[in-house]
């Protein structure tokens, strides 16, 4: 049974989502205050559902605190049309988002995609390209021997690029296989996640970029800089 932490101050919505999620096989704990949620975030959740607007501590500040101690997948609930909230959430370490009003069926589908992608594959490989070492089973990344912490979504996207190092991987494939969702019109999730991956990895030793944007095609991890 997958354990879900639901953080939202809308009590009625939490009751609705909890009932639906439990009926779909999830174990759910609902918390309605940002500060109160801090006491729960280290409990090894399979996923955390986090609303942006919270009393006590807003969702963005809570997300920052979560990412200091937990790599659990985080799905943020954002107001419809608030693109700035979506981008900021992804930049701070959220793995995905759903806009309100939220469909319980969509939420379950997104959660299952998140938990599938974040679970270590027993057949995962150890990938090495240059000074970068990526272990799919332990979901650990080393760059020049130093550990680099990625969110679940960032790790999945980088793993796809590393497996196809030197080749261009389309945005559509990155979205489908890395994020578990088809690419939508005006969708900036890939760009936002990739910007964070680039920032965390840094450049090659010679200062050249590791990841190249191929306009109109996708992204490429450069083997020789």
Q: Domain with 204 in it: what CATH number?
A: 1.10.10.10
Domain range for 134:
126-221
For residues 101 and 83, give the distance between their C-alpha atoms in angstroms, rounded to a whole number: 15
How far, CA to CA in Å, does 162 sit from each of 10, 43, 111, 119, 146? 41, 31, 25, 19, 17
What is the reported pTM? 0.68
Cβ atoms of 77 and 107 closer than 8 Å: no
For residues 114 and 98, give the distance between their C-alpha atoms in angstroms, rounded to a whole number: 12
121 — pLDDT class (breaks 50, 70, 90): very low
| Segment 69-117, tens digit of pLDDT | 888 899 999 876 667 888 888 888 898 888 888 889 889 888 887 776 6
For residues 41 and 179, give the distance between their C-alpha atoms in angstroms, rounded to a whole number: 23
Cβ atoms of 62 and 18 closer than 8 Å: no
- Asked if residue 102 and residue 50 are part of one domain, the reply reads yes
- Asked if residue 101 and residue 135 are part of one domain, the reply reads no
Burial class (CB in 10 A: 0-12, 13-18, 19+), 76: buried
How many domains does the chain fold into?
Answer: 2
């Amino acid at each position: 049974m997958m354990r879900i932490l639901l953080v939202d101050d809308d009590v009625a919505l939490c009751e609705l989502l909890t009932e639906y999620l439990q009926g779909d096989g999830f174990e759910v704990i609902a918390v309605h205050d940002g500060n109160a949620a801090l006491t729960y975030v280290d409990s090894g959740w399979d996923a955390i559902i986090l609303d942006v607007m919270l009393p006590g501590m807003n969702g963005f500040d809570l997300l920052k605190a979560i990412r200091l101690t937990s790599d659990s997948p985080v799905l943020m609930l954002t107001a419809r049309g608030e693109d700035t909230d979506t981008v900021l959430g992804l930049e701070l370490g959220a793995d995905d988002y759903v806009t309100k009003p939220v469909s319980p069926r969509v939420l379950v589908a997104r959660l299952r995609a998140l938990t599938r992608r974040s679970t270590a594959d027993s057949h995962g490989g150890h990938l090495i390209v240059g000074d970068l070492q990526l272990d799919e089973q332990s979901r650990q990344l080393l760059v020049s021997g130093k550990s680099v912490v990625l969110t679940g979504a960032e790790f999945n996207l980088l793993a796809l690029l590393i497996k196809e190092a030197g080749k261009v991987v389309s945005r559509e494939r990155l979205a489908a296989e890395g994020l578990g969702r088809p690419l939508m019109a005006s969708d900036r999730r890939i760009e936002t996640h990739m910007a964070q991956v680039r920032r965390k990895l840094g450049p090659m030793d010679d200062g050249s970029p590791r990841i190249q944007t191929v306009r109109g095609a996708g992204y490429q991890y450069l083997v020789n800089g």
